[in-house]
Structure 1
Amino acid sequence: MEPCGGGGRLGELRREAAEYYRGHRVPQRVEEALNALFPLCPADLYGALANYFSTFSKAPVICKLAGRKVLDGVGKPTLEVEIYCTVKNYEKRICSAIMSSHSHVPENASPEINEGDEKERSDSVATAVEWVNESLNAVLRDLKPTDQCEVDKMLGEYFRKKVEEKKIQKEEEEATAPLSCAPSAVALSGKKKAAKPGKKMSSTERTIPPAEPIEPVLCGSLAIGGTSLAVAKAGATINHIPLYLHIALLKYNQDSPKEMTLPHPMITLLNCEKFSPAKLKLVKEVMLIPPAQLSLKQPSPQLADNKKGKAPNTGKKAPLPPLKRVSHLGCLITGWDNLEQPLLLMQTACNNIGLELGTDMYLAINCAAHELMDYVKGKYEILTGTFKSPDEMVDVYVELINKFPSIIALVDPLRKEDRQQWSNICCALGSKCYLIAEDAAANISKLKIDQSTNVPMCSGVVLKYINQTKVSDLIEFTGLLDGQRHITILGSPDGESSDDSLVDLAVGLGARFIKLGGLSRGERVTKYNRLLAIEEELAKNRTLRSEANFEFTDFAEETQPEKELSDVIPPPAQDSLPPQLSQPALQVHSLPAQLPDNNTLT
């Protein structure tokens, strides 16, 4: 036997083995020669040799995409994307991602509108499957799944090409279509009543800003978001790290964070049916938020001290309306006759289990004000037959927060078109609670293109991973929000699946809150379980950082020039993403440990 070294028979075998790990088949004679040369070598030596030669192997690359139609948690069709990579000369399935379905159809839509939405959704999923299996399969072949920026760049170029093709097709159809008489009047989105001919409009009606048209969604756009998310999951799998850490490394330019925070869950307890016989329309969701310093698994101190698990019931009782059904958000749907009923019910329920609102738990209200506007009257219908102008709505919310200081977040208290009223409510309540834009926020991809938040003055924005949104879009946009002292809330769309990637995205992006719905549907409970698992993992690694208090922004301290510029976010630098937080531009107030006991109505 020749001595070990770079020359001779053994050196030749080493070179041939290295060639194998570079992507070539190893000749059978090499395997036979190794067995002959090292018949008595232990198995761990062969493992060491394999590990050594694997350092010369090619990095895994994408070899195939597979798209298919699947069903989400409410039985609606949506898209699943599978990623296959070439790993050490073998094709291997790495992971898959399921996109959540999303719909802009309101709750009280007619059967004809719902039927049209179902057909549009089915066509979009079918087109997305075709894009993934054909075009995108060829576009992304041989790209590294760890190179998220390059993958998303290719996806963006492909999507822009499809948008341009659609535009040209539409222009050709309009050019060849026969001329027809345009209708004399077009109903505004959300309009409840038709204006009578010849009726003179009041000054309020003339000045109310009309609703912005819903941005059209290109048929098949699910393929872009689904593929980008699947590639991100594949990159995390290839690097042998969890997805949330992979996202954090992408956001902070591969600089591993020493500590990470968990987003605070917004847990939906009640879904208030706006179109039921009940009178209340102002509240869509009542959500529970645990204290900032409380672990997700940690019980409340009061519960541990109270032997019976009950506390004296103080305050007025609210009658519980009949429970109807469980919503797609995973919570009970009920109807109410006034604003105080659901809030007093929450107060009573917390008291009965030994919790005190404002200390042990806090509330958030999703107002969904865009669903309330009567465009004939130019006012919001907050109760059946009770209307408030945009300016009067600000006073309504000021009175609400003064009576119920345990409410620390209002979601969509106004339409995004009422920008002056958003500024007014931020100055009036910004130091007491979060004013959050959900429907009032534009599409993430459009925000990225415009390099502007395109939202009214607010405390933060709810972002949803839907349609053509890419992982790079989320990373860039949340970096911009961080730099402007806006908080980020990751929200789940209407039709969720069992894919729990949204939680990893929220943790990796450093979102302040995560809005997942209730705890009564499996596809939503799965995400809460994932949040618990990440908390346990971070605590075990000693990288979990908890926040002491909620912090609110005092918008009233801003100067007028700062107010004018607060809605516009400058474009990021090309060579790096923005830091996690810039120097505070606004005065920040922490939530007091004990709120005044003023939760009962007079």
Structure 2
Amino acid sequence: MKDTITAVRGMEILDSRGNPTVRVFVELSDGTQAAASVPSGASTGENEAIELRDGDQTRYLGKGVLKAVKNVNTVISPALIGMSATEQLAVDHKMIDLDGTDNKSKLGANAILGVSMAVARAASQSIGIPLYRYLGGTGARRIPVPAMNIINGGAHADNSVDIQEFMAVPVGAPSFGEGLRYIAETFHVLKKILKSRGLATSVGDEGGFAPNLESNDAVMDIIMEAIEKAGYTPGKDISIALDSAASSFSTDLTSAYDLTKSGAGKMTSADLIAMGVKWVDKYPIVSWEDPLAENDWQGFKQFTEQVGHKIDIVGDDIFVTNTKYIARGIKEKTANSVLIKLNQIGTVSESIDAVRMCRDAGWHYFISHRSGETEDTFLADFAVAMDGGQLKTGSASRSERIAKYNRLLEIEHDLGGSALYYW
């Protein structure tokens, strides 16, 4: 068989934070060679699949990934050689069985995911079709609406803002290319506004600006100003998406919150929900990710009951791309949307299973990058393949983010008039 796996090898590279991560190369019997690089998160849920780090303080402050690389080369590689690259499910389950843990802590989710992605890419190249079509079928043609991170706070920036991501979403654009232009222009106008006020225009982990503003509300107001000064109508052309990453400012991950970074003080779940309801009424918000902490299931449900008919309530840390937690959320009506991150669960197949569960329940799902990224564009193809219509992949700066946007522009160009774009 021409798609038989003949070699799998890993190596240590650096991500966008300058920290080590895993790159995997896969070779097939027909001569196909493909590679994939694994992202890494800063704001992580406690139930995520485990990144295997070396812990050797003499290398990269303990963050090296030589153990994960060794697992690719000495454990995973021998087990996969001879298998068909087009049997993605079998390949992924072989690695899951080799690991034998619930959270991939033995071999490392970074080792397993690198192989999983590289195998999928090799298979698509061997067959001679784009990765998005290989993973999504011949009908894959919906380009996602980008939620562009324009202001960073929380764990992604050293500033006075509690909320981790403030995003501009071009819901009114006629195409992905035009939508990208809308929000890129808004990003640059926002920079001019910040500069005119003597505020920092340095960027955070995901490329958004990281100014010190007097309150979280002030961030929303300056974004509204930027949208309007860029020539767009808030709520019609461009809306706002938020990622609170509330676990990062929760003191117990359940019901107590500390927003003293911005001067808002300490809050309960009820206080945070009340603030959220007020914002949804005041600003053109279309989605809100992790508005409560990962163990605040009751708070999530209450917030969803109050505003879930108006916006997408997106679970990230609470669901960690794991069908076990997503199923509970669907049953308890905890949210109405799920964030899908490949490295939270650790294989391409399991990520697709999470998407399928959302579809079956009528929930939305958002494909997402991580704050520690690489130049790999797998995520862009995966977003088109999954037909979800929404994507988070950072700002209009930093090449590891722009690479994904440029890949989506390529896909839209290739699809021509058959491309779909809608929120």
TM-score, normalising length: structure 2? 0.85
Partner of 1:242: 130
Partner of 2:76: 136
Distance 2:106 2:59 in 1: 14
Partner of 2:110: 222
Distance 1:465 1:117 in 2: 27
Give the alignment of 1:89-238 within 5 angstroms. 92-103=31-42, 119-122=61-64, 125-160=65-100, 163=101, 217-218=105-106, 220-238=108-126
Query: Normalized per residue, which structure has more helix?
Result: 2
Partner of 1:83: 26
Structure with the greater alpha carbon radius of gyration = 1
User: Which residue, 476, 494, 510 being the options, matches 2:371?
Assistant: 494
Q: Do the aligned partners of 1:280 and 1:384 also contact (CA within 8 Å) in 2?
A: no
Q: How far does the alpha carbon of each residue in 1:454-489 deviate from its partner, in whole angstroms, 9 at most, with x for none?
A: 586112111212166111111112111100111111
Structure 1 residue identity aligned to 2:245: A
Q: Do the aligned partners of 1:278 and 1:337 also contact (CA within 8 Å) in 2?
A: no
Q: CA deviation at 1:104?
A: 5.0
Distance 2:16 2:43 in 1: 17
Distance 1:292 1:502 in 2: 23
Q: Do the aligned partners of 2:215 and 2:264 also contact (CA within 8 Å) in 1?
A: no
Q: Do the aligned partners of 2:43 and 2:245 also contact (CA within 8 Å) in 1?
A: no
Q: CA deviation at 1:359?
A: 1.0
Give the alignment of 1:29-48 within 5 angstroms. none
For the aligned residue pairs, the C-alpha RMSD in angstroms reads 3.3
Give the alignment of 1:50-449 within 5 angstroms. 58-87=1-30, 92-103=31-42, 119-122=61-64, 125-160=65-100, 163=101, 217-218=105-106, 220-249=108-137, 256-257=138-139, 260-272=141-153, 280-281=161-162, 283-291=163-171, 293-298=173-178, 320=197, 322-323=199-200, 325-375=202-252, 379-382=256-259, 383-384=262-263, 386-404=265-283, 406-442=284-320, 444=321, 447-448=322-323
SS of residue matched to 1:365: strand
Shift of the 274–93 alpha-carbon distance from structure 1 to 2, 3 Å rule, reads closer
Partner of 1:543: 418
Aligned residues: 401
Q: Do the aligned partners of 1:318 and 1:342 also contact (CA within 8 Å) in 2?
A: no
Quick one: percent identity of the two aligned structures? Answer: 22
SS of residue matched to 1:154: helix
Q: CA deviation at 1:516?
A: 0.5
Q: How far does the alpha carbon of each residue in 1:572-600 deviate from its partner, in whole angstroms, 9 at most, with x for none?
A: xxxxxxxxxxxxxxxxxxxxxxxxxxxxx
Structure 1 residue identity aligned to 2:23: E
Q: CA deviation at 1:388?
A: 2.1
Structure 1 residue identity aligned to 2:133: L
Q: How far does the alpha carbon of each residue in 1:206-242 deviate from its partner, in whole angstroms, 9 at most, with x for none?
A: xxxxxxxxx7944633111111110000110111000
Q: CA deviation at 1:494?
A: 2.1
Q: CA deviation at 1:449?
A: 6.1
Structure 2 residue identity aligned to 1:236: S
Distance 1:103 1:114 in 2: 20
Structure 1 unmatched ranges of 5 or more? 1-57, 107-112, 165-214, 250-255, 304-309, 311-316, 551-602
Q: CA deviation at 1:339?
A: 2.6
Distance 2:109 2:254 in 1: 37
Q: Do the aligned partners of 1:464 and 1:493 also contact (CA within 8 Å) in 2?
A: yes
Shift of the 359–116 alpha-carbon distance from structure 1 to 2, 3 Å rule, reads farther
SS of residue matched to 2:327: coil
Q: How far does the alpha carbon of each residue in 1:330-352 deviate from its partner, in whole angstroms, 9 at most, with x for none?
A: 12211221232112211222222
Distance 1:302 1:534 in 2: 19
Distance 2:310 2:382 in 1: 28
Q: CA deviation at 1:84?
A: 1.2
Structure 2 residue identity aligned to 1:234: A
Partner of 1:511: 388
SS of residue matched to 1:298: helix
Q: Do the aligned partners of 1:280 and 1:335 also contact (CA within 8 Å) in 2?
A: yes
Q: Do the aligned partners of 2:253 and 2:295 also contact (CA within 8 Å) in 1?
A: no
Q: How far does the alpha carbon of each residue in 1:486-529 deviate from its partner, in whole angstroms, 9 at most, with x for none?
A: 11111111211111001111110112311101121011101110
Structure 2 residue identity aligned to 1:246: Y
